[in-house]
Structure 1
Amino acid sequence: MSNKLWIAESFGKINLGLHVLERLPTGYHRIETGFAFIEWSDRFEVQEAEAFDLVMKESDIPADGTNLITLAYDAFDTYVGLKTQYRFEVTKNIPAGAGLGGGSSNAALTFRMLNKMEGAGLSDNDMVDLCRDLGADIPFFIHGKPGVGTGIGQEIEHLDIQPDAWIVTIYPGFESSTAEAYRNCEPNPEPDFSIKGVLEEEPIEEWQVLLQNNLEPAVIPRHEMIGNIKDQLVDFGADYAAMSGSGSTVFGIFEQDFVAINAYESFHNLGFQTNLTRPKFKPDHGIYIKD
């Protein structure tokens, strides 16, 4: 059995606007949203083992059959086959139930690491096809590039929309139900502006007026702190502030570094889990070996 230690990072995302266009008979929703990366990440350390084992460090998330890492591992074994079994040790930093895609990002990295470690030779599109049923955000994380998601969020058009500005991301300390957010939202099949058009053509200072998250009216009345944090970010000088996905995390985009750092430090000093992402951030998509 090899002593190789495989290491990689699983990064979170934010939604730059989210239009809920239609409620589908399947229970899903047709949406349009912008996906961008943040520097909030989970660390994976993987070694060969006698049997599959998952250890979730710094987290209350169950390491059982409900965990998306386990589901992705089982899906890979079912559809591709594993020559070897592995032990996954994951240090969780991305808050769960926060609208940051942590679980989907973990599932995508599980597939990518198994593909690499097993020498399976699957393309990104192959992996997307195999894990499509596990989560709508997973294709975005498989490809590792920002872009606009349509359909139920799985159809990704890769675009250079990673903000050339600082992103301050704040987790308010509680989860928000995705199912409840979508159940209580009002789909709008004909929004005034397309998210793709706004992100490609309009400066960041115009986003607060043009870019909307249609889930905010369904979530903020039930969780007033989300709205309060959004308002505070604007007061701190954010050019754009919004809830990410179905919540509960809120982020602000700042073109000036000292304004962003002041907002980050203020929320951090209040005890919130807070992240600061650099302009034009590109996640490290690499998988590395430590002998």
Structure 2
Amino acid sequence: MLVFPNAKINIGLNITEKRSDGFHNISSVFYPVNWTDALEITWSDTTSFSADGIVIPGNESENLCLKAFNMLSADYDLRPVHIHLLKAIPIGAGLGGGSADAAFTISTLNKLFDLNISEEKQIDYARRLGSDCAFFILNKPMYCFGKGDQFEITDLSLAGKWIVMVNPGIHISTVEAYSGVKPAQPETDLRTLISSPVSTWKDAVRNDFEAGIFEKYPVLDEIKQSLYQKGALYAAMSGSGSTLYGIFESETDLSGHFDRYNVWQGMLN
């Protein structure tokens, strides 16, 4: 069975408080984007995992797809499978690619084995693998809060607009990202801000990670300003970076721009 796990962007990201368990509470809007990996799961004599495309760091046994299979197999005694991943979404880029792969593994195994696991239970499984994994089970625009694993449906639609995503290949660890942030409640609720036209978001919808990270990596701010110069209605960093994106009214000619970087452009749904 072949599926295509997709990326997401953060529209606004407020770090509201540090929790007693060491995590942080956030508020953000997650929006799915059609930059995808390819994930194939087939019957096999022994369970195994392989990957092509972007090199995935770490031990193969620690891959989230394999962890998702082992988690479900513990409850449903699944027969062996081979999981093959063609990795195209940049890793550690604020796009949730690894989380999408894990969530799509859960939903695909559910279909492949006719497990009839409810959406709610799939979300519970996904939460065990990472804070934003659960988002990709529903895979629709959501207001996210808590650790990023609690969701509320939003009627935000960017359908028909275009997005340009620029990944400069700078790896920013979670520890590094949070070291430049002082948690605080936003003056205006993000849900209120995104109810206004996209053209009004520039100075209102903010990613709290940007200030500290841009100070350390000025090229990221340069990319953001270049997106605005190209005519973006709104531009921001996704998650803790280092991917920058711009939302445009229509397809954009990028000739001579961002040639050194990994760039994806497409229409939003």
Same fold (TM over 0.5): yes
Quote the Cα distance in structure 1 between the aligned partners of 2:234 and 2:54.
31
Q: Contact 1:208–1:240 at 8 Å: present in 2 too?
A: yes
Q: For each residue in 1:86-144, what CA deviation from the matched residue of structure 2 results, as whole angstroms up to 9, or x when unmatched? A: 10111111000000000100000011111111111101110111231211111110111
Tell me which moved more, 12-21 or 179-188.
179-188
Quote the Cα distance in structure 1 between the aligned partners of 2:8 and 2:104.
14
Quote the Cα distance in structure 1 between the aligned partners of 2:205 and 2:146.
18
Is the alpha carbon distance of 1:276 and 1:205 closer, same or farther for their aligned partners in structure 2, counting shifts above 3 Å?
same
* Deviation for aligned residue 1:159: 1.6
Quote the Cα distance in structure 2 between the aligned partners of 1:266 and 1:209.
27
Query: What does 1:11-50 correspond to in 2, within 5 Å?
Result: 11-50=6-45
What secondary structure is seen at the aligned counterpart in 1 of 2:90? Answer: coil
Does residue 158 in structure 1 map to residue 153 in structure 2? yes
Does residue 253 in structure 1 map to residue 263 in structure 2? no
Quote the Cα distance in structure 2 between the aligned partners of 1:22 and 1:86.
42
Report the equivalent of 1:271: 260
Quote the Cα distance in structure 2 between the aligned partners of 1:183 and 1:86.
41
Does residue 8 in structure 1 map to residue 6 in structure 2? no
Does residue 238 in structure 1 map to residue 232 in structure 2? yes
Which of 90, 93, 98 is the matching residue for 2:88? 93
Report the equivalent of 2:105: 110
Name the % identity: 32
Quote the Cα distance in structure 1 between the aligned partners of 2:127 and 2:114.
21
Q: Contact 1:101–1:137 at 8 Å: present in 2 too?
A: yes
* Deviation for aligned residue 1:85: 0.9
Which of 68, 78, 88 is the matching residue for 2:64? 68
Q: Which residues of structure 1 form unaligned runs of 5+?
A: 1-5, 282-291
Q: Which amino acid in structure 2 is aligned with residue 267 of structure 1?
A: H
What secondary structure is seen at the aligned counterpart in 1 of 2:115? Answer: coil
Quote the Cα distance in structure 2 between the aligned partners of 1:85 and 1:162.
40
| TM-score between the two structures when normalised by the length of structure 2 | 0.95
What secondary structure is seen at the aligned counterpart in 2 of 1:34? Answer: strand
Does residue 120 in structure 1 map to residue 115 in structure 2? yes
Does residue 170 in structure 1 map to residue 188 in structure 2? no
Q: Contact 2:72–2:78 at 8 Å: present in 1 too?
A: no
Quote the Cα distance in structure 2 between the aligned partners of 1:65 and 1:267.
39
Aligned residues: 267
* Deviation for aligned residue 1:81: 2.2
Does residue 132 in structure 1 map to residue 127 in structure 2? yes
* Deviation for aligned residue 1:52: 1.3
What secondary structure is seen at the aligned counterpart in 2 of 1:262? Answer: coil
What secondary structure is seen at the aligned counterpart in 2 of 1:275? Answer: strand
| TM-score between the two structures when normalised by the length of structure 1 | 0.88
Report the equivalent of 1:284: none
* Deviation for aligned residue 1:10: 0.2
Quote the Cα distance in structure 1 between the aligned partners of 2:108 and 2:179.
35
Question: What is the RMSD of the two structures over their aligned residues, measured on CA atoms?
Answer: 1.4
Quote the Cα distance in structure 2 between the aligned partners of 1:74 and 1:36.
28
Q: Which amino acid in structure 2 is aligned with residue 73 of structure 1?
A: F
Q: Which amino acid in structure 2 is aligned with residue 166 of structure 1?
A: W
What secondary structure is seen at the aligned counterpart in 1 of 2:69? Answer: helix
Quote the Cα distance in structure 2 between the aligned partners of 1:66 and 1:185.
29
* Deviation for aligned residue 1:25: 1.4
Quote the Cα distance in structure 2 between the aligned partners of 1:39 and 1:130.
24
Q: Which residues of structure 2 form unaligned runs of 5+?
A: none
What secondary structure is seen at the aligned counterpart in 1 of 2:21? Answer: coil
Is the alpha carbon distance of 1:91 and 1:162 closer, same or farther for their aligned partners in structure 2, counting shifts above 3 Å?
farther
Q: Which has the higher helix share?
A: 1
